[in-house]
A and B are shown apart, each in its own frame.
Chain A
Amino acid sequence: MPRVVVDVMLKPEILDPQGQAILGALPRLGFDGVRAVRQGKRFELDVVDEMTEQTVRRIAETLLANPVIEEFTVHTG
């Protein structure tokens, strides 16, 4: 069964408090040199052979992502 990956990220203009928390934690752990962190979500979908990328995109914009605040990218094959 083919696997399709959908990555969902907050739009750049939307504040990402979770990314900020990670960014704040890194120097405390001794990791210097990270300028910015954005946290997103990765969805792995096992789909039937006939699944089209267009349908995956519809799945992403209907449920996986909220297009008001998020962007998504579909990775196939």
Chain B
Amino acid sequence: MTARIGIVTFPGSLDDRDAARAVRLAGAQAVPLWHGDADLHRVDAVVLPGGFSYGDYLRCGAIARFAPVMERVVSAARGGLPVLGICNGFQVLCESHLLPGALIRNAQRRFVCRDQWLRVDSVRTPWTSAYGAGAELRIPVKNGEGGYVADRRTLDALEAEGRVVFRYLRGNPNGSARDIAGVCNETGTVVGLMPHPEHAVDPLTGPSADGLGMFTSVLSHLVGVA
């Protein structure tokens, strides 16, 4: 039996179907989770997909944080459940205080949508273990509020503890502090990033298949754990 990976759909989620496809291509079972669910349906990991949950009202991710399903995700994540937040999902994880920092409007004030080079700076998370250290990935980035910010002490701590998971290469698309594209929690099980690995899982439909490694990583982690 393969692993069950839940994909949350909020009102306004856009990339839940691509995330489910990525999970299936990696060989796991994609389990749809609805924002109103107060149950995680025995999933072994959760993906929070991109989009504009609740219309991005108030702040990106601020309303989604209080959805019934998120209360379960937050408590399960504190207990070690692997969680990947992509784009809006990253914003939800920051608003939920599962990840430090916040995402603000892009410094250049424009929505950015392009193929972006990234470097994997930590392969010690369940979501990145399939990559070689320092691997360079080309995957789409598309956001209007993707500028990662945190106070200097937090940024220094993230760097010192190896919790910067991804860094932008060859151009920072949104003014993120220290070119940070993704970070993780203290244990590495919760990872958030602005670029979209689920859009780069098949050369037919994306710029590369470089994003697939995040989904195969968590599958090997879960199969190893089981």
Contacts and interface: CB of A to CB of B under 8 A. Distances in A.
A66 B106 contact: no
Contacts of B150: 68
A34 interface: no
A35 to B, nearest CB: 20
Contacts of A14: 104, 149
A10 B103 CA distance: 12
Interface of B: 58-59, 62, 66, 94-95, 100-102, 104-109, 147, 149-151, 175
Contact of B149 (A20, A63, A64, A69): A69
Contacts of A66: 59, 62, 95, 102
B109 A68 contact: no
B175 A68 contact: no
Contacts of B151: 13
A68 B107 contact: no
B62 A63 contact: yes
Nearest to A15: B107
B101 A15 contact: no
A69 B62 CA distance: 13
A68 B106 CA distance: 17
Contacts of A69: 102, 104, 149
Nearest to B101: A68
A28 to B, nearest CB: 15
21 contacts: A10-B104, A14-B104, A15-B104, A15-B147, A15-B149, A17-B105, A17-B108, A18-B105, A18-B109, A20-B109, A63-B58, A63-B62, A64-B58, A66-B62, A66-B95, A66-B102, A68-B94, A68-B101, A68-B150, A69-B104, A69-B149
Interface in A1-44: 10, 13-15, 17-18, 20-21
A63 B57 CA distance: 11
A69 B150 CA distance: 8
Nearest to B177: A15
Given A66-B102, A68-B94, A17 B109 contact: yes
A49 B105 CA distance: 37
A63 B175 CA distance: 26
A69 B101 CA distance: 8
Nearest to A13: B151
A15 B177 CA distance: 11
A21 B94 contact: no
B143 to A, nearest CB: 13
A20 B104 CA distance: 14
A14 to B, nearest CB: 6
Given A13-B151, A17-B106, A69-B102, 19 more contacts: A10-B104, A14-B149, A15-B147, A15-B149, A15-B175, A17-B104, A17-B105, A17-B107, A17-B147, A20-B109, A63-B58, A63-B62, A63-B66, A66-B95, A68-B94, A68-B100, A68-B101, A68-B150, A69-B149
